[in-house]
A and B are shown apart, each in its own frame.
Chain A
Amino acid sequence: MASTAAVSPALLEQAMSIAPVPPEHWLIVAPVLVPLAGGAALIALRHRPGAGRALVGRLSILLLALTLAANIGLFLMVVEKGALTMVMGRWLPPFGIAFTADRLGAAFSLSAAAIALLAAIFTRGEAGTGAPAYGPEPFHLLLLAGVSGAFLTGDIFNLYVWFEVLLIASFGLLALGPDRAELDGALKYGFLNLAGTTLFLVAVGLVYGVTGTLNMADLAMRLPAMEGVPAVTLAALFLFAFSMKAAAFPVQFWLPAAYHTPRASTAALFAALLTKVGVYAMLRVLVMLMPAPLEELSLLIAAIAAATMLFGGLGVLAERDLRRLPGFVLISGIGTMLAGIALHSPGGATGAIFYGLQSMALMLALYLALFEAARLAGTPDLMKGGGLYARHPLFSGLVLALFFAAAGLPPFSGFWPKALIVKAALDIGAWWLAGAVLLSGFFLTVGLARAYMLAFWHPQRPPAPVGRGPQTGQAALSARPQKLALTTILPLAVAALAVIGFGLFPERLLQLSGDAASGLADPAAYVGSVFPGAKP
């Protein structure tokens, strides 16, 4: 019950860091703390009489803007000074839980916050499906807290905890609606993601059993020395667990079953953030901590990547529900990032990171746009709607740019990482992997072009009687006026501009991805920020 003053300072220094922490170091935890506390405050507030959806919505935008500002500050600081660490509760690193922000984590966290802000703006103009008190905004904030925590934590068990935080927030979001399709999707999503994270926990337990530490910087010094069967087993377990999160073949079937059921902003946020967390975890754990077993597994990962890309491409060709369509684009993108990881070369990792960062903006915009298109057309069925181009030329133009970017055509953002990955694959003679990237891009081009022709260019079809076809899902799908609000078009336009901007001026992002990739290949700076003076 005594305070720490009873222990002598010399003894204290052996167990705790007693140097004062400069206030700007709090930026490392601010991207987690602000949305976490903000989400909690909004949940507490939403039942207050007089505090309607409007207030909660405005506050959520304010809080997300604050989070974004903190992320910008953190990102600039990390770019300027290199990796930064804050250890919870003054305990020294291997024992205290560390938050470590390097270029990779800070960049992912920054784009996640920007995406969440855009989604929150979109939410303001969205028709509510449930009671006014149960808006998605508080859970969006909690979801972002989990995602940022996963990107910034420096402790592998803590990574598991953040996985669970974002999972429980996503459960809350999926289960908000009263719809049959939503419940069905939420159930499948719930069970499969729970199984995935539990496998991750098994792997974490084994890592602790083998190395006796959970701190990632500490692991970066110890794990590379481990080799042989146990190391490969561990890496395979991590690979399986993260593949489930990222929706890689053959454990991707939950994604098209669940992601089209919630409201547009929620689906877009899931698509932009959740699978990227899986890819980020692969980069962090497999590429940075376990390079040797990754080398042994690289052929397997490359095969998984090729299968994932082709599955996504074929899915786009076969799908006729506008809201399920982007799910397959997403899966094909996951395959592309996996291909970059499998190559295990600077070019491959750079391509994977670049693809991940631009894919956040792309997937957000694609989901928002296609859900909006389904609403404007009055049906998600490609064969029943039509005539969107004639009615909304500006919106349709944006969608066309997004489709180009998704297919990986120059001069849009999807082109550069694909080019990097294809080149890196050809460099090591993996022509079949390069072929898979190109073939999947071809499928996407054909599939998306046909979708565009059917839903946008085709003259409007007469409204068909209710019959067989994709479930309309939300009852409000066609009930709203056929008008585009500013809150709808603004996030779309910003995300589309980002996609085009990354495509036309890729140098900065390329530089950043390259730096992040070299930070993964040689984690000396990462380790140094946690243990000053240590040599990995």
Chain B
Amino acid sequence: MNTLIFRTIAPFLAALMLVFSVFVLLRGHNEPGGGFIGGLIAASAFAIQGLAQGVSAVRRALKMDPLGIAAIGLLLSALAGFLPFLGAMPFMTGLWIDLNLVADTVPVSSVMLFDIGVYLVVAGTVTAIALALEEKETD
């Protein structure tokens, strides 16, 4: 498994997968994609990196405990559900704002915030599980 080719390619592959996971996340509102699948892709990237470079290297690179990332995601999702409180609407109502950026208007919503939360939850938990399994194999 731990060949020279794999070790050389893995960082590039992981970086590509991380970018792709964000693309899938943002695409997800109206087209196939979304936070869950994006998070899985990101977790796979970390898992591949863990196989190639060792688990401790990935943990160092993440700077944060994977479960902490998941917790921040859960917090963001809960916050997205709470936002409608300010507008006298029920829990989890989707709120939309059209942001006027330089060239285009970009719709930003609490739904997206929720999805980003899901992305972080899935990426964090699955990374934690994958790293735990890999750790036992190598050490």
Contacts and interface: CB of A to CB of B under 8 A. Distances in A.
Interface stretch (A83-91, A181-189, A292-300): A83-91
B93 A89 contact: yes
A244 B135 CA distance: 34
Given A20-B89, A29-B91, A3 B82 contact: no
A46 B70 CA distance: 13
A20 B85 CA distance: 10
Most B CB contacts (10 A, CB to CB) among A40, A87, A99 go to A40
A90 to B, nearest CB: 5
Contact of B94 (A33, A46, A89): A89
B88 A33 contact: no
A47 B62 CA distance: 13
B134 to A, nearest CB: 18
Contacts of B2: none
B89 to A, nearest CB: 6
Contacts of A533: none
Contacts of B107: 1-3
B88 A22 contact: yes
Most B CB contacts (10 A, CB to CB) among A17, A43, A87, A99 go to A43
A484 interface: no
Nearest to B97: A3
B73 to A, nearest CB: 8
A17 B73 CA distance: 29
Interface in B68-114: 68, 70-75, 78-79, 81-82, 85, 88-94, 96, 98, 107
Given A4-B96, A33-B82, A43 B88 contact: no
A88 B68 CA distance: 27
Contact of B72 (A1, A25, A36, A44): A44
B30 interface: yes
Report, as a range, how many residues of chain A touch the other chain.
20 to 34
Given A1-B107, A40-B74, A44-B72, A89 B92 contact: yes
A318 interface: no
A39 B92 CA distance: 19
Given A1-B30, A4-B96, A89-B91, A47 B81 contact: no
Interface string A411-432: 0000000000000000000000
B64 interface: yes
Given A1-B29, A43-B68, A44-B68, A37 B89 contact: no
B90 A86 contact: yes
Contact of B91 (A1, A43, A46, A88): A88
A194 B72 CA distance: 27
Nearest to A26: B85
Contact of B78 (A4, A36, A88): A36
Contacts of B64: 47
A21 interface: yes
Contact of B90 (A2, A33, A40, A90): A90
B130 interface: no
B67 interface: yes
Most A CB contacts (10 A, CB to CB) among B67, B72, B91, B107 go to B91
Given A4-B96, A36-B78, A41 B88 contact: no
Nearest to B125: A168
B79 A37 contact: yes
Contacts of B29: 1
B78 A40 contact: yes
B90 A21 contact: yes
A25 B98 CA distance: 29
Nearest to A20: B88
Contacts of A17: 90
B78 A3 contact: no
Given A40-B74, A43-B67, A26 B79 contact: no
A44 B71 contact: yes
A39 B88 CA distance: 25
B78 A87 contact: no
B53 to A, nearest CB: 22
A23 interface: yes
Contacts of B94: 4, 89
Contact of A88 (B67, B90, B96): B90
Nearest to A138: B71
A389 B65 CA distance: 46
A178 B52 CA distance: 28
A89 B79 CA distance: 14
Given A36-B78, A99-B91, A3 B98 contact: yes
A47 B72 CA distance: 12
Given A1-B30, A1-B107, A44-B71, A23 B85 contact: yes
Contacts of A89: 90-94
Interface string A1-41: 11110000000000001001111011001000100110111
A43 B85 CA distance: 25
Nearest to A37: B78
A443 B107 CA distance: 67
A257 to B, nearest CB: 24
Nearest to A133: B65
Most A CB contacts (10 A, CB to CB) among B93, B94, B96 go to B93
A36 B81 CA distance: 12
A87 B93 CA distance: 9
A39 B77 CA distance: 13
8 contacts: A3-B107, A4-B96, A25-B90, A37-B75, A40-B78, A47-B65, A86-B91, A89-B93
The 4 closest A-B pairs by CB, nearest first: A43-B71, A40-B74, A20-B88, A44-B71
Interface of B: 29-30, 64-65, 67-68, 70-75, 78-79, 81-82, 85, 88-94, 96, 98, 107
Interface of A: 1-4, 17, 20-23, 25-26, 29, 33, 36-37, 39-44, 46-47, 86-90, 99, 138
Given A4-B96, A47-B65, A89-B90, 16 more contacts: A1-B30, A3-B96, A3-B107, A20-B89, A23-B85, A23-B88, A26-B91, A33-B81, A36-B78, A37-B75, A40-B72, A40-B74, A41-B71, A43-B67, A44-B68, A89-B94
